[in-house]
Structure 1
Amino acid sequence: MRNLAWVDLDFHPEAVLGNRRALHPGQFTARDNLSGHRVILIEDTWVQGGHAQSAAHALKNAGADTVVIIAIGRWVDYSGSDRWRPVLERAPRIQVPRQRPA
């Protein structure tokens, strides 16, 4: 098994114009030269994919041969689609308290 390394990305909020969830190629830059490396990018939540794709863009610009994105969670917008109605009707209802107990 090959050694794994941590790659640091610098975040550039000024590069995010308009929709913050869209692809913004200048949003991140990699600190290291990744020529010849394969990278696994772990994303905690995937909504529209803009952050992960922007980070992948930075990794490719740094020379990575391959970038694979693994999303731990996925947000799906169920509104406006009747095909999800049977799933939603069977889904358990969870009550979330609005205030923390004292």
Structure 2
Amino acid sequence: MLVNGRPTEEIVPTRGLRQGDPLSPTRRQKGLIHGCRVARGHHLSHTCFFADDSLFFFKANLQEALEVKKFMGIYESFSGQAVNFQKSSITFSRNTNVEDRDLVADALAVG
């Protein structure tokens, strides 16, 4: 995993890190968004919050990217906070094809 553009060692959740948010579980239950498998039997939930940073984990396809964008918009409207897309980045599994990468990056307006 890259953090601030640099490879990092294993991330071990400790105090101050929480997973989940009030929006993604509803979408997960409806089958609109899925977690991300990181190893056999190990999945990450859809969001991880730490301080003023957020990590979103979802399948790299247009449908799920649009769901993420939708619940980010809902969060922005309720919280008054906005995503700074100029400071945002996106990373894909090496197994994600180029077409899906381009669709997801374009939908979220990040590169």
Task: Report if TM-score (shorter chain) is over 0.5.
Answer: no
More strand by percentage:
1
Identify the structure with bigger relative contact order (alpha carbons < 8 Å, sequence gap 6+).
1
Using structure 1 for the length normalisation, give the TM-score.
Answer: 0.33
TM-score, structure 2 as length reference = 0.31
Which is greater in Rg?
1
